[in-house]
Amino acid sequence: MNGHKAKKSFGQNFLVDQNIIADIVRAIRPEAADNMVEIGPGLGALTRPLLHRLDKLHVVEIDRDIIARLKTDYPQDKIVIHEGDALKFDFATLGAPLRIVGNLPYNISSPLLFHFADYAARITDMHFMLQNEVVERMVAEPSTPEYGRLSVMLQYRFYMEKLLDVPPQSFRPAPKVDSAIVRLIPIPADKIGVKDETLFAQVVSAAFGQRRKTLRNTLKAYLTESGFAQLGIDPQLRAENLGYLDFARIANRITAERRIRPS
């Protein structure tokens, strides 16, 4: 690893398996003119092959030692280095449409995914290396053990597909978990169908906050018995039994009820 020691504080595990790297680049299919940003380029496992195919690559990196390496190892007319935390980075500054790739730090992967969702309208697609357990939760079907709040909150914004399993031995140091590659493609805004996204998030959070309780109990502050009946949703079900479209219908029903309710 050319003398660079992985830092636990940044959740660093560096991809070294050349076959896996080639598979990821094939899945991304970079085109020369793409407006692409890599999150956490690390030691360049993806950076190098991407730069061979792109006119320019943006990278977001927080580790100052790696930033110094990026400045010396790559042609500076082709790489644009943004120093700082991806969780706080304003991706709108990179223009649109934008493609995002990266081996995301597993310790902050869920907050990062929600951060990217804020920019969905500007994004063409995203390809990420994540902990396999997280990917399984992202693409999980209702009524399965993996299905939860993360599933719903991402499925209503993105088409998602697990592409590739990546074993621990593909990294240095080897993580204690299996990894996977996932593709996310934003759903067009006019097809999302959620009228109040803040309310939608509140409803999903409340429903899964006590996931062993029925919807009648978890959503009693939001929806009446007659509201459930008119939606055709059994209030005896639990959150894990509903798809993201059901939650959208519930949130939209609450929005409609609040509009006609006298103040």
From the CB of residue 143, how many other CB atoms can be counted at a distance below 10 Å?
12
pLDDT tens digits, one per residue of 74-118: 999 999 999 999 999 999 999 999 999 999 888 899 999 999 999
In sequence order, the 6+-apart residues with CB closer than 8 A to the CB of 131 are: 106, 109, 175, 177, 178, 179, 180
Q: Could you tell me the CATH number of the domain that includes residue 175?
A: 3.40.50.150
Domain assignment of residue 143, yes or no: yes
Q: How many domains does the chain have?
A: 2
Q: Which domain holds residue 188?
A: 8-192
Give pTM, 2 decimals. 0.91
8 A C-beta contact, residue 149 and residue 123: no
CATH number reported for the structural domain that contains residue 218 in this entry: 1.10.8.100
Q: Do both 66 and 114 map to the same domain? A: yes
How far apart, in whole angstroms, are the C-alpha atoms of residue 119 and residue 22? 28
Q: Is residue 263 part of a domain?
A: no
Residues 47 and 143 placed together within one structural domain of the fold: yes
pLDDT in tens, 131-186: 999 999 999 999 999 999 999 999 999 999 999 999 999 998 888 899 999 999 99
Q: Which pair of structure tokens corresponds to residue 201?
A: 């998030």
Domain end residue (candidates: 192, 217, 232): 192
Which of 172, 192, 212 is the last residue before a domain boundary? 192
3-state secondary structure of 171: strand
User: Which among 149, 173, 192 is the end of a domain?
Assistant: 192
Strands (DSSP E) found in 84-178:
98-103, 123-131, 158-166, 171-172
165 and 146 housed in the same domain: yes
1 lies in some domain: no
Which of the four pLDDT bands, split at 50, 70 and 90, describes residue 14?
A: confident
Band the pLDDT of 261: cuts 50, 70, 90.
low
